[in-house]
Amino acid sequence: MERQIVFAGLLPHAPILVPGVGGKELVHVETTVKAMRRVASHALAAQPDTIVLVSPHSPRRSGAFGVWHTPRLRGSLARFGSPEDQVDLPLDSVFSDQLELEAKRYGLHTWRINDEDLDHGAVVPLHYLVGAGWKGATVIVSLNNPGEGGLDQLGQAIAATAGKLKWRTAIIASGDMSHRLTQTAPCGYDPAGLRFDETFVGLLRDGAFGGIKQIDPALQENAAEDIVDSTRVALAATGYQTAGHHELLSYEGPLGVGYSVAILFESAKSETAPTTAVETKNNVISHFTELPTVARCAVEAKLKHRPTEPPFHVSGEVAKRRAVFVTIRTEDGELRGCCGVTTPVEKNLVRETWRSAIAAAFSDHRFPAVTALELPDLRFSVTVLGNLEPVDSLEELDPAVYGVLVSAEGGRKGVLLPGIAGIDSVEEQLAAVRNKAGIAPEEVIHIERFMTVSFKEQPIKLKGVT
């Protein structure tokens, strides 16, 4: 039977991750928010006929898995103070009915959820999927009680349903990691929290998905997590595949709860195949000086709704994995957007620049999204970062030479590039980066420094790029 699971992703479900609830606190989880948008975008790019979401907060019964059967899947975040944040999607009743039959064949019991509003475990991930453009038929599944088993069988039943119907299906696991990372965490502090998060994140990062089934149940319980079971269902639906694309996009725990965002399965994409009308043989990128042009092309492609993969061959110095920041300014030099990473995420500098340019143009919370009308008057620059070095003394810092990355309890981090106008002393640099990360002046911080090289946009247009 042809496999019809075309995408699997992992999204957290804390209401604070939705702007209407999070408000000003959203700045502390912006990395997670950006990664959630990326998963939603990739899920829709897979062109699913239906989306199956597994929520650990949907109603549970012992010994059985729940399947929603309300005509419309409706829910809001009203109990969290934001009634305007709501979802309303059609139920995929055909898929839900068939899933119940397939579950029975796998020895599972199911029950129907007929008269409930959606829980936040469903509403928060769906908020991002709807925001990416999803309007289609949807399936919501709830779990049985912890430790009762059947998770792999449920995933297999979902895959069998998709195969029998021949419907392209995306599956989303909803889950948060430890709720006990700090003394102020919702469930109090337990050192098991960080141990669990490190274990789980490591398995995701390495693609060692089978290891998730081997995590100590006592560690899970002490960490107060609700991510393992839903993730196992999603992975089982893919057959625990690692042949396709999988990627840990982010992890952070600034508010005492761990949030992981990941692509668990996505059909592999050709690294060198053209993804736009541009012929890649005419567009070889091999030097740092060409990266600002790559940044502009990324934003142009996004504005013109073209595929968001760089249509370039990569060689030379830009074929390496390095961290970058992309900065966008107006003709008058005013900042219009700036985003990047301190640890490389992509396979090479061209892909890293492409990714950061789109984030700077459309996801910098300080500014509205860049428009096609203003793009010709904007100027791009790309800063390539050197290695991070630990700092033992403030005498090792110089804001004109070194950028800084500061970290505090709970995963809060802030970064500041060197050579920022108006920042002339180490004290001013650290005060600025503390303020940016929401770290109080009296809090203990870990400091790392890095050197950079920056490249401004040149008036050169790559052949064939319009």
Give the DSSP H/E element, type plus range, for residue 340: strand 335-340
Q: Is residue 403 part of a domain?
A: yes
Kindly state whether residues 247 and 165 are assigned to the same domain: yes
Across 226-235, 238-247, 277-286, which has the greatest mean pLDDT?
A: 226-235
- Give pLDDT, residue 268: 54
Q: State which of 320, 348, 380 marks the end of a domain.
A: 380
Kindly state whether residues 403 and 369 are assigned to the same domain: no
Q: 39-77, pLDDT tens digit by residue?
A: 999 999 898 999 999 999 999 999 999 999 998 999 999
Q: What are the b/e assignments for 349-378, b being 16+ CB within 10 Å?
A: bbbbbbbbbbbbbbbbeeeeebeeeeeeeb
The residue-averaged pLDDT of 172-190 equals 94
Residue 287: count other Cβ atoms within 10 Å of its Cβ.
12
Lowest mean pLDDT among 173-182, 205-214, 411-420: 411-420
Q: Is residue 9 part of a domain?
A: yes
- Give pLDDT, residue 376: 87
Q: What CATH number does residue 425 fall under?
A: 3.30.1490.150
Q: Is residue 274 part of a domain?
A: no
The residue-averaged pLDDT of 189-213 equals 94
Number of domains in the chain: 3
Q: Is residue 147 part of a domain?
A: yes
Kindly state whether residues 341 and 231 are assigned to the same domain: no
- Give pLDDT, residue 179: 96
Confidence category of residue 285, pLDDT binned at 50, 70, 90: confident
Across 269-283, 305-319, 356-370, which has the greatest mean pLDDT?
A: 356-370
Q: Is residue 114 part of a domain?
A: yes
Beta strands 378-385 and 259-266 are: unpaired
Distance CA 230, CA 222 (A): 18
Local structure of residue 37 (DSSP, 8 states): H
- Give pLDDT, residue 463: 38
- Give pLDDT, residue 307: 60
Q: State which of 380, 404, 436 marks the end of a domain.
A: 380
Check whether 152 has a pLDDT greater than 50: yes
Confidence category of residue 272, pLDDT binned at 50, 70, 90: very low
What does 38-70 look like in DSSP terms, one character per residue? Answer: HHHHHHHHT--SEEEEEETTS--BTTBEEEE--
**What is the largest distance, in Å, between two alpha-carbon atoms of the chain?**
69
Kindly state whether residues 22 and 156 are assigned to the same domain: yes
Kindly state whether residues 12 and 118 are assigned to the same domain: yes
Identify how many contiguous H helices and E strands the chain contains and give both numbers. 11, 20
Residues in the chain: 466
- Give pLDDT, residue 279: 34
The better pLDDT of the pair 277, 441 is held by: 441
The residue-averaged pLDDT of 239-258 equals 89
The residue-averaged pLDDT of 267-294 equals 60
- Give pLDDT, residue 286: 84
Kindly state whether residues 249 and 370 are assigned to the same domain: no
- Give pLDDT, residue 282: 45
Check whether 281 has a pLDDT greater than 90: no
- Give pLDDT, residue 239: 93
Instruction: Name the nearest CA neighbour of 233 among 35, 465, 66, 83.
Output: 66
Kindly state whether residues 107 and 78 are assigned to the same domain: yes
Q: Is residue 355 part of a domain?
A: yes
- Give pLDDT, residue 275: 35
- Give pLDDT, residue 372: 84
Kindly state whether residues 447 and 356 are assigned to the same domain: no
- Give pLDDT, residue 66: 97
Confidence category of residue 1, pLDDT binned at 50, 70, 90: very low
In the chain, the percentage of residues whose pLDDT exceeds 70 is 93
Distance CA 361, CA 162 (A): 37
**Contact partners, residue 340, CB within 8 Å, separation at least 6:** 323, 324, 325, 326, 356, 359, 360, 383, 385
The better pLDDT of the pair 412, 155 is held by: 155
Kindly state whether residues 110 and 248 are assigned to the same domain: yes
Lowest mean pLDDT among 61-75, 80-94, 269-283: 269-283
Lowest mean pLDDT among 75-89, 100-114, 206-220, 302-316: 302-316
Q: How far apart are the first and last CA of the chain?
A: 43
Q: What CATH number does residue 335 fall under?
A: 3.30.700.20
- Give pLDDT, residue 161: 95
Q: Is residue 462 part of a domain?
A: no
- Give pLDDT, residue 312: 86
- Give pLDDT, residue 458: 59
Check whether 104 has a pLDDT greater than 80: yes
Q: What CATH number does residue 233 fall under?
A: 3.40.830.10
- Give pLDDT, residue 197: 95
Residue 211's domain spans which residues?
5-266
Q: Is residue 458 part of a domain?
A: no
The residue-averaged pLDDT of 448-460 equals 81
Identify any residues that bridge with 8 across adjacent strands, giving them in sequence order: 171, 265
Q: State which of 354, 380, 406 marks the end of a domain.
A: 380
Kindly state whether residues 112 and 148 are assigned to the same domain: yes
Kindly state whether residues 349 and 448 are assigned to the same domain: no
Kindly state whether residues 233 and 286 are assigned to the same domain: no
Residue pointed to by tokens 């991930």: 125
Distance CA 264, CA 276 (A): 26
Distance CA 229, CA 231 (A): 5
Identify any residues that bridge with 50 across adjacent strands, giving them in sequence order: 169
- Give pLDDT, residue 368: 92
Average pLDDT along the chain: 89
